[in-house]
Copies of this chain bind each other. A is one copy, B any other.
Amino acid sequence: MNRPHDRKADELRAVTIQPGFTVNPQGSVLMTCGRTMVLCTAMVEDKTPSFLKGTGEGWVTAEYSLLPASTDTRSPREASRGKITGRTSEIQRLIGRSLRAVVDMTALGERTIWLDCDVLQADGGTRTAAITGAFVALCLAAWELKQQGVIRDFPVRDYLAAVSVGILQATPLLDLEYVEDSVADVDMNIVMTGAGKYVEIQGTAEAAPFDRAELDALLALGEAGIRRLMELQRAALGEEIHHAIIDCQS
């Protein structure tokens, strides 16, 4: 089983997390993972969805989009089609749900953080890159709110990152790129907290169902990958925000 560029089965692609790529939003991160490139931004809005009005709690929500030229064959713009696809809807619900798992909504107060994940280039693993990058953008925006005195307590309670794993020719692999993903038998996305707990596990086997031993191998690969991604998140955020997260945890 030879992977492109002689990558090992348990090796991540080259990952970069560049904060401050744009300056308008409170948090902005250019996240790359190999050729996959996602612009993750966080913007704060001073109101919540109506079901939270008056509760004192905030909300975190995400939107995801593939730029038309991000894929090998041009993806028609959803705005031109007049509606988002099922795939987009599924992914943006996943991103929002995942991030909400580590946010203290009472500390955030009655405001919404919008996470926009726009895929500038797609080469597999865009949804997990979006989650990992959006976490950093979220922390940057939350930090700015705290610095400006808008909120008193930092509302992010733990790290959160995500990675994809899969089975290809009977071999469990970490972080599939597109040429691998498109022919994999099993595809699984794992979202995990800094405390090592699962937030989401989504495993799909359209081609060949998988047994318990394979599941165990995938979970192990994923956890190791997520650990390394969290180190990169910490480096991108800096020690001050890192300590805010740690303090919030305890």
Task: List the interface of chain A (C-beta within 8 A of B).
Answer: 21-25, 28, 35, 37, 39, 41-43, 45, 63, 65, 67-72, 74, 77-90, 92-93, 97, 100-101, 114, 116, 118, 120-122, 188, 192-193, 195-207, 209-212, 215, 219
Question: Contacts A202-B201, A204-B97, A209-B193: A79 and B70 contacting too (C-beta < 8 A)?
Answer: no
| B89 & A68 in contact (Cβ 8 Å cutoff) | no
Q: Which of B89, B100, B196 contacts A206 (CB 8 A)?
A: B100
| Shortest Cβ distance from A200 into B: residue | B204
Which residues of B sit under 8 angstroms from A65, Cβ to Cβ?
A: 77, 79
* Nearest 8 interchain pairs by C-beta: A197-B209, A86-B89, A78-B79, A41-B69, A25-B69, A79-B79, A201-B203, A22-B121
| Shortest Cβ distance from A189 into B: residue | B202
- Majority secondary structure of chain A interface residues (helix, strand, loop or mixed): mixed
| Shortest Cβ distance from A81 into B: residue | B79
| B67 & A118 in contact (Cβ 8 Å cutoff) | yes
| A86 & B77 in contact (Cβ 8 Å cutoff) | no
| B205 & A74 in contact (Cβ 8 Å cutoff) | no
Which residues of B sit under 8 angstroms from A116, Cβ to Cβ?
A: 67-69, 74, 77
| A195 & B209 in contact (Cβ 8 Å cutoff) | yes
CB distance from A242 to the nearest CB of B (A): 20
Counting chain B CB atoms within 10 Å of each CB, which of A71, A84, A88 scores highest? A84
Which residues of B sit under 8 angstroms from A199, Cβ to Cβ?
A: 204-205, 209
CB distance from A174 to the nearest CB of B (A): 18
In the bound assembly, the distance between CA atoms of A90 and B204 in angstroms comes to 13
Question: Contacts A82-B83, A86-B89: A70 and B24 contacting too (C-beta < 8 A)?
Answer: yes
| Shortest Cβ distance from A205 into B: residue | B199
CB distance from A27 to the nearest CB of B (A): 9
Which residues of B sit under 8 angstroms from A192, Cβ to Cβ?
A: 209
CB distance from A133 to the nearest CB of B (A): 13
Counting chain B CB atoms within 10 Å of each CB, which of A24, A77, A201, A210 scores highest? A24
In the bound assembly, the distance between CA atoms of A131 and B193 in angstroms comes to 31
| B90 & A84 in contact (Cβ 8 Å cutoff) | no
Which residues of B sit under 8 angstroms from A74, Cβ to Cβ?
A: 25, 43, 45, 114, 116
| A90 & B79 in contact (Cβ 8 Å cutoff) | no
| B23 & A39 in contact (Cβ 8 Å cutoff) | no
| B101 & A205 in contact (Cβ 8 Å cutoff) | yes
